[in-house]
Amino acid sequence: MKMTFYPKMAWMGIRKNSRMYVPYLLTCAGMIAMYYIMAFLAFSNVLLKVEDGEILNAIMGLGSIVIGVFALIFLFYTNSFLIRRRKKEFGLYNILGMGKANLAHVLIWENVMSFLISLGGGLTVGILLSKFSELCLLKLVHMETGFSMQIDWEALCRTVTLFAVIFLLLLLNALRQVRLANPIELLHSEQVGEKPPRANWILAIAGAVILAGAYYIAVSIEDPITAMVWFFVAVVMVIIATYLLFIAGSVTLCRILQRKKKYYYKTQHFISVSSMMYRMKRNGAGLASICILGTMVLVMLSSTICMYVGAEDALRGQYPRNINITVATYDQAGLESGICEDLTGQAEDAAKALGQKPENVIDYKTAAIAGSINEGQISLSKTTLEQYQVDSYSDLWQFFVVSLDQYNRVMGTKETLKEDEAMICTIKADYKEDTIAVEGGKTYKIKKEVEQFVPLASDAMSIFASMFLIVPDFDAWTQETEALLAAIPPEEFSLMLDRKIQYCWIYGYDLDCEDEIQNQIIAGLKNSIETYKGQHPGTNGEVFEIYSGGVATARESFYTLYGGIFFLGIMLGIVFVFAAVLIVYYKQISEGYEDQSRFEIMQKVGMTKREIRKSINSQMLTVFFLPLVTAGVHLAFAFPLIYKLIQLFGIDNLQLLICAAGICFVIFGLFYVLVYRLTSEAYYSIVSGARER
C-alpha cells in the first residue's frame, strides 16, 4: 500500500463531507484565533503602560482560560456531529475489507490535516487581529498608542500546545468509538433512533423543581454579598434544569402532539412530529445547549455594557467631587485640632494657584462603625454572627452617623428631628424596621428614609451594605456608643470590626476646567499635603490618615477596569454566539441527512416540494424558538441577581441595566431569526434534493 494512500483517503473524506467539515474547521480556527488574541493581550507590554495595566493583563488572562476550557468542551461537542456522520462511511469501508487499524490511520490523517488547517488559519487571523484588538481595548480605556505589528511567542506556544492537546483528545475519542462499534452498527448509525428516557416524568419534575429553586434564589436575594455567594450556584442549577426540562419536555411535547389526531394526521405535522420523536433526547439536548449559550450571551453583554456605560456614575460615587480630601482618625477631639481648617486652606490654594475657583463645596464629619443588624439592633460583637462566616456576610452593615445640622447644610434642606428620632439613607440593601439602636443603647424612631446623601469613597466600592444615620445630637450618640464599645470584652470582637469609632472629615469641591488642569491641581495638593505631614507629627498615620484624590486622576484606573471587563464580555459574547450558531447549523444539517431518505420515500408517494416546505416550517416553529423564549425568561429572572452584582462595582442605575438587557435581547433575537432562516434553507436543500421534480 502506497504511503500516500491514507492521506488521500483522509483528504477525500474531508472534501466529500465539506458541508460538515468546513464549518467545523472554521470553528476550530476561530477558537484558535480568539485564544491567541486573549493570550496576546494577557502578555502585552503595551497594556502595562496604562494606569493599573496589570489589571488588564489579569482580566485578559482570565479570558484566555475561559476560552480554552470552552474550546475543549465545545470542540468535543461539534466533533461528535462529524463522527456520527462519518460512521456510515467507515462501516462501508470496513465491510469492503478495511480493518479498524486502516480506519485508524485514516482518522489520524484527518485529525492531523484538520489540526494543521485550523492552526494555520487560526494563527494567521489571530496574529492579524491581535494588534487591532489591542487598539480597540486601549480605545475602551481611553488610551492611545502607535501601531506596530508583532508576534508574542509565549502566546503562540501556549496556543499551539493547548490545541494540540485538544485535537489529540478528539482523535482518541474518535478511535475509541470506531474500535468499539461493529461494521453493521457503523453502517446503520444514522438510522438508529432513540428510545425515550426512562422515568421521564421524574426528570421533568426534577428539572422544574431545580429551576424553580434557581429562580427563587435570584428573585429573593436582597443584598450584593448574598448575590455574590449564590450566583454560581444559581447558574449551575439553571444549566442542569434547562437540560432536564428540554430533554424530558421534548418527549412529552411529541407524545402530546401525537395524541391530538386532528393535529398529528396532517401532512406537514405528521412528518415533523415523527422526525422529532426519532431523535427526542438529542433534539432536547441541542435546544438546551442553544438556550444556555443564548442566556450566557444576554447576561454577559447586558451586565458588561451597563458597567461600561455607567462607569462615570461609579466614578462619581467614589469621588463625589472633582477634588476630594478625607481625614480619618479614632480621636474625635483630633478633628477639632485645626487639621480640617489647614487642609481646607491647602485645597483652596491649590485651585487658586492655577486660576480656578472651587464650586459646589462639601464639608462634613461622620462617625463610622461596622456591625451586624437584627430586628433593629446593631450588634458590635461577633457573638450573633457565628464568627462571620461567608453565608452571614449579608448581615454585616457599615454605619455612618451624621448630625442633623451637617446634613441640612450639605443637602440644603430644613429637616427637623425630635430627640428620639432619626433619618436613614441605605445603600445596596433595604432596611425594613421602624426603629434602630446600637445594642444596649438609645432607640431611635425612623422618621423617614431619604433617597440620597453625599457618598463616601470608602462606601462606594464596598461589598457590604451601608447606612447613613442622621441623628439630632451627634455628640450624645458618639459618647454613648464609645461607652458601649468599651464594655465589650476584646475576645468578642471580630477581626473584621474596629474596636473604636472611626471619625472622618470629608471635604471636596468641583471645578470648571479640563482634566489636565484638574490633574495639576491634584498633584499640587498632594505635594502640599506631604509637606504638611512632615511638619505635623501624627498625620503620617499615627493619629490621622489623610487621603486625597480626584475624578480626573482616577478616571484612567476606572476605565482600565470597566473597559477591560467590557472587552472581555464582547470577546466571550462573540465566542458564545458563534458557538450557538454552529450548534444550530449542525443540528439542521445532521437532521437533514437523517431525514433525507424519509422525505425521498414521501416524494415517491406524491409529496410535493410545497408540502415539504410546510412540514419543515412546522417542525422549526414547533421547537426552534423555544431556546430564545426560554433564554429571555432566564434573563428576566436573573435580572435582580445581576443588578445586585453590578452594585458591587458601584453601578446603581436600574434603568440603564433594563435598557442594556432589552437592546441585547432584541439584537440577539433578530440574529437568531436570521440564523433560523439560513439553516432551515440548508435543511430544505438536503431533504428536498433527494429527488428533483
- Helix (H) and strand (E) counts for the chain? 22, 10
* Cα distances (Å, whole numbers) of residue 341 to 179, 244, 310, 338, 356: 84, 67, 35, 5, 20
3-state secondary structure of 367: strand
Distance linking the first and last C-alpha atoms of the chain = 44
Q: Beta strand pairing status for 502-510 and 377-379?
A: unpaired
DSSP strand pairing (377-379 vs 435-438): parallel
Judged by average pLDDT, the poorest of 12-26, 96-110, 363-377, 434-448 is 96-110
What span, in angstroms and rounded, lies between the C-alpha atoms of 60 and 37?
A: 9
Domain-wise residue ranges, the chain: 1-192, 200-320+552-693, 321-551
What does the pLDDT look like over 115-162, one tens digit per residue?
Answer: 999 999 999 999 988 888 888 888 887 776 665 667 888 899 999 999
Least confident of 35-44, 460-469, 543-552, 668-677: 460-469
Q: What is the pLDDT of residues 573-602, one digit of tens each?
A: 888 888 888 888 887 777 777 667 667 766
The closest of 359, 378, 360, 369 to 441, measured between CA atoms, is 378
Taking each helix axis from N to C end, the angle separating 53-95 and 100-140, rounded to the nearest 10 degrees, works out to 160
pLDDT of residue 586: 80
Please tell me the distance from the alpha carbon of residue 201 to that of residue 45, in angstroms, as a whole number.
56
For 38-87, how does the pLDDT look when each residue is reduced to its tens digit (9 = 90+)? 899 888 887 777 776 777 888 888 888 889 988 888 888 888 877 777 76
Spatial contact of 563 and 137, defined as CB atoms under 8 Å apart: yes
- Please, which residues bridge with residue 546 across strands? 327
- Of 449-458, 494-503, 527-536, 565-574, minimum mean pLDDT range: 494-503
**For residue 492, what pLDDT is reported?**
57
Which sign, positive or negative, has the C-alpha torsion 444, 448, 453, 457? positive
**Which contacts of 178-183 are long-range, i.e. CB under 8 A and separated by 24 or more positions?**
178/87, 178/90, 178/100, 178/103, 178/104, 178/107, 179/100, 179/104, 181/87, 181/91, 183/91, 183/94, 183/95
Select from 121, 111, 250 the least CA-distant residue to 168: 111
Residue carrying C-alpha cell 438536503: 686
Q: Report whether pLDDT(354) > 80.
A: yes
Q: Within 43-99, where are the H helices?
A: 45-48, 53-95
Question: Looking at this protein, which amino acid is placed at residue 510?
Answer: D
Torsion (CA) 44, 46, 49, 50 in degrees, nearest 10: -90
Rounded to the nearest integer, the mean pLDDT of the chain is 80
Q: Quick one: cell of 160?
A: 499551539
